[in-house]
Structure 1
């Protein structure tokens, strides 16, 4: 059976992920993501009303026109998890393919939200829920799609595996090796080892290289939880304002913030549209998340909440707000610019339970936000966080478990690939033979 892999997006940057695998006449697409930084550098762009070709020209979504060079039928569109760099282009591109979107329940709910907001294109693709550990048949030629449970900075993340007669294609974006997660099951290393040793083994492994230049291993989310607990407990006797921010999609981290706020005697309140969206979706699909935490996503309700906080006393509350990357229109950035009713005083605490995404736009915006907060007298606690991506020892363990015949680094630029290339080379892989550093828009034939 002929096997081709089209590396469509995410092979020259962090963002706009999209990969297609053709096995015989059947094609499976993994991810359709957005490069948010390409949008944020423009003022007040509303992508919902934009044409896909304009977004492709901006470098904001994958250029999927290379799909016309694959001779087959798309059978499924499979997002690995609910981050926008993996689902943010589904509303713009999925209508071109007569294929269902197959994802875990939480991811699928987030996809629904994306397509409901879409103003330019209609969306008629079927939506199919599939849980980690389940499989489904693809086409009529012996292909099978399997979801393997992984742990990441968002719940219900999976690594999809396409089983073919020539061996398995393992799409390894995005994960960390967490054996003690705060929400959900640990990463299923047992299943990865089985896949590496059954049948014809693993034909190809496509790997997220976000942290491939960092030595050691990525700590568990429980490490971040204890770091956060220690940070907030150190503020237990402070009577002024405490504000926290994290990734809105990081349900486990938001849950920890809610719990620790209550333990130090403050009422947690979630503020910002994305905070309301992700936490509300988690409650909707039955994820273990507090059901009684107030959350407000719209400007009027947020302004009224800030008025209440100032009237009742900042020391009674802990707002958890959007803006961990210093996004210009996010809640924390507006607070830093003095554009809300929440007044920051000398000594007030601002906890960033998130690191800067390593991209120039984000780094500049985050720097500016922290400086503005400092100018108002706030004490900034930065990077109370652990990454959602594998460092080098995790990559070594995955190669050892899967023993793939071919390896394709993804989710980075050439500089970001370098650490992975060195590590894979040390394990016997060679560039141009079975280690393939590629770019967006390429098609490689493996069989």
Structure 2
């Protein structure tokens, strides 16, 4: 059977992920993502109103026109998890393909919301839920399997396309976490089985985000302990404490809510994306929050909540807000600019339970937000976080478990690929033979 891979997006940057695998006459598309930084550099861009071709020209979504070079029919569109760099282009591109979107329940719910907000295209692809551990047929000879992984968003998987020539494992995004705060541990046993069954793993496509960092990525339980220690250390402060994290990081939000109550403060979730992700997770029973937990996304509701906090006393509350990257319209940035009823005083604490995404736009915005906060006298607690991506030893473990015949680094630019290439070469792979360093828009033939 002919096996061909199109590396469409995410092979020159972190963002706008999209990869297609052709096995014979059947094609599976993994991810359709957005590169948010390419949107943020423009003022007042509303992607919901824009045409896909304009977004492609901006470098904001994958240029999927290379798909016309694949001689097969798309049977499924498979986003691995609910982050925008993996689902953010589905509303712009999925309607071009007569194929269902297949994903885990939480991811499907986020895709539904993404599609519902689309104003330019009508996206009526079937949305099919499949749990981790589930399988479905792809054409007469192939099978799609979801393997459970741990990431910084719940209900994440690595999809595996089983073909007569061996399996194609799409390895974006994960960490090896045996003690997660929410959900099951990564299924390393299943990865080892896949590496040793039938014809083994034909190809492994891997996320290289943290490949240049030594050691292993700590468990989310480590971040939870760090966060608890930080909040307990300022438990006696009688002023304002504000926390921010990734809105999609439900495990971290859960920890913030629990620890706020432990130090005698009432947690409240503020910001549109904070309300969306946490509300969806609670509705689908992935997390249980206190019955009186406030979640407010609309600006008027948020400002009313801030007025209440100022009236009743900042020392009684812990607002958990959007804006950990310094996004211009996010809640924390508005607070830093003095555009909300919440008044920061000298000595008030701001907890960043997130790291800066290593990209110039994010780094610049985050720096500006921190400077504005410090000008108001805020004390910054930074890097209370663990990554959702593998470090060097995690990558070594995955190569050892899967023993793939071919490896394709992804989710980075060429500079970001370099540490992973060094690791793979140390394990016997060679660039140009079975280690394929590629760019957006390229085709790689594995079996002719």
Normalised to the residue count of structure 1, the TM-score between the two structures is 0.99
Q: Match for residue 427 of structure 1? A: 427
Structure 1 CA distance for aligned equivalents of residues 138 and 417 of structure 2: 31
Residue 215 of structure 2 is aligned to residue 216 of structure 1: yes
Q: Match for residue 205 of structure 2? A: 206
Q: Match for residue 163 of structure 1? A: 162
- Residues 186-335 of structure 1 correspond to what in structure 2 (within 5 A)? 186-292=185-291, 293-335=293-335
Structure 1 gap ranges (5+): none
- Residues 314-393 of structure 1 correspond to what in structure 2 (within 5 A)? 314-393=314-393
Residue 415 of structure 2 is aligned to residue 412 of structure 1: no
Structure 2 gap ranges (5+): none
* Contact 1:3–1:445 (CA under 8 A) maintained in structure 2: yes
Q: Match for residue 183 of structure 1? A: 182
Residue 25 of structure 2 is aligned to residue 30 of structure 1: no
Residue 426 of structure 2 is aligned to residue 396 of structure 1: no
Q: Match for residue 171 of structure 2? A: 172
Structure 1 CA distance for aligned equivalents of residues 20 and 107 of structure 2: 19
3-state SS of 2:131 partner: coil
The Cα of 1:285 is off from its aligned counterpart by 1.1
Structure 2 CA distance for aligned equivalents of residues 90 and 74 of structure 1: 14
Structure 1 CA distance for aligned equivalents of residues 290 and 283 of structure 2: 10
- Residues 134-145 of structure 1 correspond to what in structure 2 (within 5 A)? 134-140=134-140, 142-145=141-144
Q: Match for residue 62 of structure 1? A: 62
Structure 2 CA distance for aligned equivalents of residues 267 and 284 of structure 1: 21
Structure 1 CA distance for aligned equivalents of residues 212 and 356 of structure 2: 16
The Cα of 1:430 is off from its aligned counterpart by 0.3
The Cα of 1:221 is off from its aligned counterpart by 0.1
CA RMSD of aligned residues (A): 0.5
- Residues 116-135 of structure 1 correspond to what in structure 2 (within 5 A)? 116-135=116-135
The Cα of 1:73 is off from its aligned counterpart by 0.3
Structure 2 CA distance for aligned equivalents of residues 300 and 407 of structure 1: 50
Structure 1 CA distance for aligned equivalents of residues 278 and 259 of structure 2: 17
Structure 2 CA distance for aligned equivalents of residues 415 and 376 of structure 1: 38
Structure 2 CA distance for aligned equivalents of residues 288 and 118 of structure 1: 28
Structure 2 CA distance for aligned equivalents of residues 300 and 391 of structure 1: 42
Structure 2 CA distance for aligned equivalents of residues 137 and 329 of structure 1: 44
* Contact 1:283–1:291 (CA under 8 A) maintained in structure 2: no
The Cα of 1:165 is off from its aligned counterpart by 0.0
Q: Deviations over 1:222-276 (max 9, x none)?
A: 0000000000000110010000000000000000000000000000000000000
Structure 2 CA distance for aligned equivalents of residues 262 and 350 of structure 1: 17
The Cα of 1:291 is off from its aligned counterpart by 4.7
Structure 1 CA distance for aligned equivalents of residues 372 and 382 of structure 2: 14
Q: Match for residue 49 of structure 1? A: 49
Paired residues in the alignment total 446
Structure 2 CA distance for aligned equivalents of residues 78 and 376 of structure 1: 45
Structure 2 CA distance for aligned equivalents of residues 378 and 338 of structure 1: 13
3-state SS of 2:318 partner: strand
3-state SS of 1:446 partner: strand
Q: Match for residue 445 of structure 2? A: 445
Q: Deviations over 1:124-154 (max 9, x none)?
A: 10010000001000112x1000000000000
3-state SS of 2:223 partner: helix
Structure 2 CA distance for aligned equivalents of residues 288 and 17 of structure 1: 28
Structure 1 CA distance for aligned equivalents of residues 346 and 404 of structure 2: 56
Bigger CA drift: 280-289 or 207-216? 280-289
Normalised to the residue count of structure 2, the TM-score between the two structures is 0.99
Structure 2 CA distance for aligned equivalents of residues 400 and 346 of structure 1: 52
Residue 77 of structure 2 is aligned to residue 77 of structure 1: yes
Q: Deviations over 1:26-65 (max 9, x none)?
A: 0000000000000001111100010000000000000000
Structure 1 CA distance for aligned equivalents of residues 139 and 238 of structure 2: 62
* Contact 1:229–1:260 (CA under 8 A) maintained in structure 2: yes
